[in-house]
Structure 1
Amino acid sequence: MTFDKLIDDMAADIIKSTQEILRYKSVKGNPMPGAPFGEGVKLSLDYVLSLAEKMGFEVKNLDGYAGYAQYGEGDEMVGILAHLDVVPEGSGWTYPPYGGEIHDNRIYGRGAIDDKGPAIASLYALKAVKDSGVSLKRKVRIIFGTNEETGWGDIDYYKGHDRYPDLGFTPDANFPLIYAEKGILTCKIEMDFENRKEGYVELKRLSGGSAANMVPDYCEAYLWVEPTKKDYTKMLIMRIASEDSVNIKLSEDDGGIIIKSYGVAAHGSTPEKGVNAIMQLIMILYRLDFAKDDVYQYITHFAEKVGMDYTGKSMGLDIRDDISGGLTYNVGVMHIDDKRGYAEINIRYPVTSRKDVVEGIIKEQLPSRFKYTYLNGFEPLYVSTDSELTKKLMDVYRKATGDDVSMPIAIGGGTYARAFKNFVAFGPVFPGGVELAHQRDEYIDVDHLIKLVKIYSMAIYELCNI
């Protein structure tokens, strides 16, 4: 069963709707009445629910935490769980991150592939099924979340106020299908600075990163340096940067030195694809002649226990299994001032490991005055590849693409598939495709977008008629 003709006829509307939703800066902001995650997120949710209502679907707004569009009848429900919130845009974009502009057949914008584009594709897929008039044995509900990137408060609220789907998928990972997802642990490691010593070099402040689950592409530090040692310190910094082959720039301000560290952004689940601007700056600072005080101890911990390695090996976190591979450790945010230092860490651990084991190892490695705080996390996900759900979706994928080679995969990323039982991640990135989630110049190819609508329409039909 295909709905290709209907989808081709609505292609212009699909593209327009994707452009429009990308123009909302739906980064988590200050809570407001009816907008628990900020105004930008609320406007994005309002837009998609209004669009769904115009399509003739039953819609519901769950107090700004989430919303859904529903179609069909039946006692059982197929769910599609997408999210409208996005991570901060970062720097260095070629095109406006909230412009929804089309260049070279690509729609650019934060959220284009993660996850606004696939959310719109799912909505139009359901419209194609509805407009075709085919009969369905189950109802379909597309749930639009608003807090996937920063805590899943939307899902908690939904679970407390509405019905769970019986089976379904999230369009927020990779094809052909994700059957396993590593556990996620986000924590804060901080230290109050009580022991400060004067030296000819003093770190006054450091700031880098915007989210724990992003590899930071920028970090900046301000050093006070004794005037007679300034030229020597600048020379030493540049020599270290050259030896380490890192991208930094130096400038002077208020008699001190500003070091700007430039890395490469990537999703926190794939740190190997980025360059951590925070950690490359820490490795430079670690080799300067600081007084051996609390600030230096804080820097030293991260330099010696983390460094540029993202496997956690130096902390005893070199954990792996045959299903999902090895643990990853990403320093996503760090701030240091005269009074304290804190870092937000995003860890992805193998499906056969446990949160308490990982936490225990981290705490053992921390100096006595360091403070560990658990921020959020999710247990690993594993769904059998022999289940009816995975078999049906794999069949849909193979028929739609002709790809009989690609197999279900495990990832380090965390998706909404963990929210409900009998859920998996299904697309939107095709095998061999560029991973653009959380990166600058995020885009979705127009042909890719239309292909998603066709695949998801078939998936809806098949899951409703098992």
Structure 2
Amino acid sequence: MDFDKAIEALKDELISSTQEVIRIKSVEDDPQKGMPFGKGPYDALCYVLDLGEKLGFKAKNLDGYAGHLDFGEGEEVVGVLGHLDVVPEGDGWTFPPYGAEIHDNKIYGRGSMDDKGPVMAALYSMKALKDSGVKLNKKIRLILGTNEETGWGCMHHYFANETPPSMAFTPDADFPVIHGEKGIIVFDLKYKIDSLEDESFSLLSLKGGNAANMVPDYAEVVIKVDSIDKSIDALRRYANEKGYQADIKEDNGNLKVSVNGKSAHGSTPEKGENAITYLLNLLYSHFNGESSIYNFLDWYEKSLAFKYNGENFGCEFEDELSGKLNLNVGVIKLVGEEIILSINIRYPISYKREDIYSSIRAHLKGLPIEIIEGNSDKDPLYVPKDDVLVQTLMKVYQEQTGDYGTEPLVIGGGTYARAMKNAVAFGPVFPGQEELAHQKDEFISIDNLVKLTQIYTHALYELAK
């Protein structure tokens, strides 16, 4: 089928609607009545549901947690699972993170690629099918979540109240098709400090990072020292030697050190520049002794600094299907006399979460460290390459792109495909394209937005015809 004419007619509307939803700051916030994840995610959900109704689809809001839009009839349902919440914007943007400004044919904004732009491509794919008048034998349902980035309570609530689709894809990863996803564990490490004061310095504050699943692009510490000038000179020399983007200065009689890094998705920590690691490495280069604070710096340097696969943390696992474990230190903060680190791990699909936790605990035995498990752990996902869903989506991708050489992938990212059986991730990032999720200056090109709409239109047609 040729849907290009219908998609071209919708292009301007697709672009403007994508801009509108990006302008909604849908970072999770304190819950309000009817808004379980705060006003921003709720507003984004209402916007897309209202838009879907205007486009001619049946809308349903499930208590502000999630919602869906239906097109067509039939007992079998083909689903598209997308999310409207975003990670915090961070600093250093060239254009306003919620401005949705267009520059060089690109729409800039948090969520433009993860996952609002792809969600809008899926929505207008449904509209293109509707306007084309094609006959379908299955219902198409666009399912909208609102806290994918922070816990998946949206999907737990949705599938507690709705029957899962017969099959589904989520536009929230890479092309051609993601047939496997590593397991995910997220937890805090609490490192107990005996005393915040040492002979040469006292730790006053320490913070960095925005979320466990983001490589932190900023971290800072405030320290009371005996000789500020001496410390500033030494730290600046080391920062220059290492090429760190560090601001080291006196602040109200104390020493303040702030470091900038480069954000990246927590599933690919090696692609970022971890500001927490840079900051702690900077302190480790200058302060030494027998203190509890130095012991922490020494432990971090040897266990976590510049290491991405758990090699010195007791969890260096890998398998043939999915490769090595990935480890990201996403957040650091000083609370009382405890330094708390938030850790995000993506582990190979042949292992279980218990394998990871038990190995880490054994490695940390005897240290003043407590593991606090989170509530957002996710088991691995694996769908064989010869599954009909994988085969159908691969065929559509190949026909629409001409790329017949790229094989289905296993990734460290976690998508809504895990929320139900018979689901995989399908786009939106093309092979060789820069991964922009969770980074500053996130954008989606208008050409790719249209191309996604074309691919998803054909995919939904093939699955539902």
Under TM normalisation by the shorter chain, which class is it? over 0.9
Partner of 2:359: 361
1:263–1:277 contact (8 Å) kept in structure 2: yes
Q: C-alpha separation between the residues in 2 aligned to 1:60 and 1:292?
A: 61
Deviation of the 1:232 alpha carbon = 1.8
Letter in 2 for 1:207: K
Q: C-alpha separation between the residues in 1 aligned to 2:113 and 2:338?
A: 37
Deviation of the 1:311 alpha carbon = 1.5
Partner of 2:19: 19
Instruction: Give the secondary-structure state (helix, strand or coil) at the position aligned to 1:85.
Output: coil
Deviation of the 1:196 alpha carbon = 4.5
Partner of 2:101: 101
1:26–1:84 contact (8 Å) kept in structure 2: yes
Q: C-alpha separation between the residues in 2 aligned to 1:391 and 1:185?
A: 30
Tell me whether 1:220 sits opposite 2:243 in the alignment. no
Q: C-alpha separation between the residues in 2 aligned to 1:216 and 1:2?
A: 44
Partner of 1:306: 304
Deviation of the 1:453 alpha carbon = 0.8
Q: C-alpha separation between the residues in 2 aligned to 1:387 and 1:196?
A: 57
Partner of 1:211: 211
1:184–1:377 contact (8 Å) kept in structure 2: yes
Please identify, of 304-313 and 86-95, the stretch whose mean Cα deviation from structure 2 is larger: 304-313
Deviations 1:184-240 (A, max 9, x none): 1101001343444432222211110000000001000111011xx222212221232
Deviation of the 1:10 alpha carbon = 0.8
Partner of 2:55: 55
Deviations 1:346-392 (A, max 9, x none): 01111112211111121122244311011121111110110110111
Task: Identify unmatched segments of 5+ residues in structure 2.
Answer: none
Instruction: Give the secondary-structure state (helix, strand or coil) at the position aligned to 2:449.
Output: helix
Deviation of the 1:464 alpha carbon = 0.9
Letter in 1 for 2:339: G
Q: 1:276 aligns with which of 274, 277, 291?
A: 274
Deviations 1:239-270 (A, max 9, x none): 32234332211111121111111111100001
Q: C-alpha separation between the residues in 2 aligned to 1:162 and 1:448?
A: 32
Please identify, of 291-300 and 17-26, the stretch whose mean Cα deviation from structure 2 is larger: 291-300
Partner of 2:9: 9
Q: C-alpha separation between the residues in 2 aligned to 1:357 and 1:209?
A: 27
2:228–2:250 contact (8 Å) kept in structure 1: no
Letter in 1 for 2:198: E
Q: C-alpha separation between the residues in 1 aligned to 2:283 and 2:320?
A: 38
Instruction: Give the secondary-structure state (helix, strand or coil) at the position aligned to 2:351.
Output: coil
Q: C-alpha separation between the residues in 1 aligned to 2:94 and 2:311?
A: 36
Q: Structure 1 residues 288, 338: CA separation in 2 closer, same or farther (over 3 Å shift)?
A: farther
Q: C-alpha separation between the residues in 2 aligned to 1:119 and 1:456?
A: 10
Instruction: Give the secondary-structure state (helix, strand or coil) at the position aligned to 2:259.
Output: strand
Instruction: Give the secondary-structure state (helix, strand or coil) at the position aligned to 1:118.
Output: helix
Partner of 2:31: 31
Instruction: Give the secondary-structure state (helix, strand or coil) at the position aligned to 2:309.
Output: coil
Letter in 2 for 1:35: M
Q: Structure 1 residues 153, 337: CA separation in 2 closer, same or farther (over 3 Å shift)?
A: closer
Q: 1:315 aligns with which of 305, 313, 316?
A: 313
Letter in 2 for 1:137: N
Partner of 1:426: 426
Deviation of the 1:320 alpha carbon = 1.2
Deviations 1:61-94 (A, max 9, x none): 0000001000111111111000000000011000
Deviation of the 1:160 alpha carbon = 0.9
Q: C-alpha separation between the residues in 2 aligned to 1:123 and 1:289?
A: 55
Instruction: Give the secondary-structure state (helix, strand or coil) at the position aligned to 1:143.
Output: strand
Please identify, of 247-256 and 257-266, the stretch whose mean Cα deviation from structure 2 is larger: 247-256
Deviation of the 1:33 alpha carbon = 0.8
* Residue pairs, 1:155-234, within 5 angstroms: 155-226=155-226, 229-234=227-232
Q: C-alpha separation between the residues in 2 aligned to 1:69 and 1:195?
A: 56
Partner of 1:374: 373
Q: C-alpha separation between the residues in 1 aligned to 2:18 and 2:113?
A: 10
What percent of counterpart residues are identical?
48
Letter in 1 for 2:10: M
Q: C-alpha separation between the residues in 1 aligned to 2:202 and 2:306?
A: 23
1:199–1:290 contact (8 Å) kept in structure 2: no
Instruction: Give the secondary-structure state (helix, strand or coil) at the position aligned to 2:305.
Output: coil
Instruction: Give the secondary-structure state (helix, strand or coil) at the position aligned to 2:461.
Output: helix
1:28–1:40 contact (8 Å) kept in structure 2: yes
Letter in 1 for 2:252: D
Q: Structure 1 residues 111, 196: CA separation in 2 closer, same or farther (over 3 Å shift)?
A: closer
Tell me whether 1:253 sits opposite 2:251 in the alignment. yes
| Paired positions, count | 463
Letter in 1 for 2:253: G
Please identify, of 178-187 and 196-205, the stretch whose mean Cα deviation from structure 2 is larger: 196-205
Letter in 2 for 1:393: L
1:205–1:338 contact (8 Å) kept in structure 2: no
Partner of 1:327: 325
2:196–2:203 contact (8 Å) kept in structure 1: no
TM-score, length basis structure 2? 0.97
1:178–1:424 contact (8 Å) kept in structure 2: yes
Deviation of the 1:338 alpha carbon = 4.7
Q: C-alpha separation between the residues in 1 aligned to 2:388 and 2:200?
A: 67
Partner of 2:413: 413
Task: Identify unmatched segments of 5+ residues in structure 1.
Answer: none
Q: C-alpha separation between the residues in 1 aligned to 2:191 and 2:311?
A: 22
Cα RMSD for the two superposed structures: 1.3
Q: Structure 1 residues 242, 345: CA separation in 2 closer, same or farther (over 3 Å shift)?
A: same
Please identify, of 86-95 and 356-365, the stretch whose mean Cα deviation from structure 2 is larger: 356-365
Instruction: Give the secondary-structure state (helix, strand or coil) at the position aligned to 1:257.
Output: strand
* Residue pairs, 1:237-248, within 5 angstroms: 237-248=235-246
Q: C-alpha separation between the residues in 1 aligned to 2:295 and 2:377?
A: 28
Deviations 1:395-422 (A, max 9, x none): 1111111111111111111111111111
Q: 2:344 aligns with which of 337, 343, 346?
A: 346
Deviation of the 1:289 alpha carbon = 2.8
Letter in 1 for 2:390: T
Instruction: Give the secondary-structure state (helix, strand or coil) at the position aligned to 2:279.
Output: helix
1:200–1:290 contact (8 Å) kept in structure 2: no
TM-score, length basis structure 1? 0.97
Letter in 2 for 1:83: H
Instruction: Give the secondary-structure state (helix, strand or coil) at the position aligned to 1:10.
Output: helix
Partner of 1:128: 128
Q: C-alpha separation between the residues in 1 aligned to 2:138 and 2:461?
A: 9
